[in-house]
Amino acid sequence: VVKDAVVPTMNAKNPHAALLLQRGVTGRECEKIWIKKEIVQWDQLLKTGDSSPIRVYTRSDACGAAETWARYMHGSQEDLQGVGVFGDPGLAEAVRNDTLGIGYNNINFAYDAKTKKPVAGLIILPLDLNANGRIDTKESFYETRDCIMKAIADSIYPSPPARDLHLVSKGKPAKKAVVTFLRWIMNEGRKYVPEAGYIDFSVDKLRKEKRKLQ
């Protein structure tokens, strides 16, 4: 019915924040941090001589966000390493309280709904999508929630960690009230999608999904 995305996060007071924002991290580096545990110190990632640990946080509860983030690294939630924290708010809070911490969140928990900027105490860790060692202009779309939502809508931000969100039923819905509600979601309800922090489908994809209710 809509699109959503997961973004990697870091503490706003991370001593390497400026360099991380300049270079970002590649998918391969994320895999070595979250899954393979081959990168465990900041020097191994940044070559700065800092042997401080990268304190990695993940979700302790089974959830779509963790599974989607793991799929970006060709794994599953069970493969993710790090300190397990319950829930999106808990994971964000853990990273906010650890200057050396990194984690990941759904965009509605990484960005403030009122200011549209990253939640106070967090910085979005940019992804180096073309693995050229720097965040190019085309890859720099994390300043506000609106910016990353546009990047997701334009398929610049990859899927995963962007993802479609679904409504699932056992068989085709038959109750009139249910069908009416589903049709409202796919028609009049679309105007609430951006306001709620989700990304709408293209016209063609939306038309295709609507046909399923006929």
**Averaged pLDDT, 67-95:** 98
Please list the residue range(s) of the chain that carry CATH number 3.40.190.10.
2-163
**Averaged pLDDT, 199-205:** 91
Q: What is the mean pLDDT of the chain?
A: 96
Helix axes 176-186, 203-211, angle to 10 degrees: 170
Judged against a pLDDT cut of 90, whether residue 180 lies above it is answered with: yes
pLDDT tens track for 107-118: 999 999 999 999
Judged against a pLDDT cut of 90, whether residue 22 lies above it is answered with: yes
Which residue stretches of 27-126 are H helix? Answer: 27-34, 42-46, 64-72, 87-96, 107-110
pLDDT at 213: 84
Beta carbons of 100 and 42 less than 8 angstroms apart: yes
pTM of the full structure = 0.93
- What is the rounded distance in angstroms from the CA atom of residue 66 to the CA atom of residue 8? 11
SS3 content of the chain, % helix, strand, coil (to 5): 40, 20, 45
Q: Which residue type sits at 208?
A: K
User: Has domain 2-163 been given CATH number 3.40.1440.10?
Assistant: no
Beta carbons of 201 and 3 less than 8 angstroms apart: yes
Terminal-residue alpha carbon distance, the chain? 15
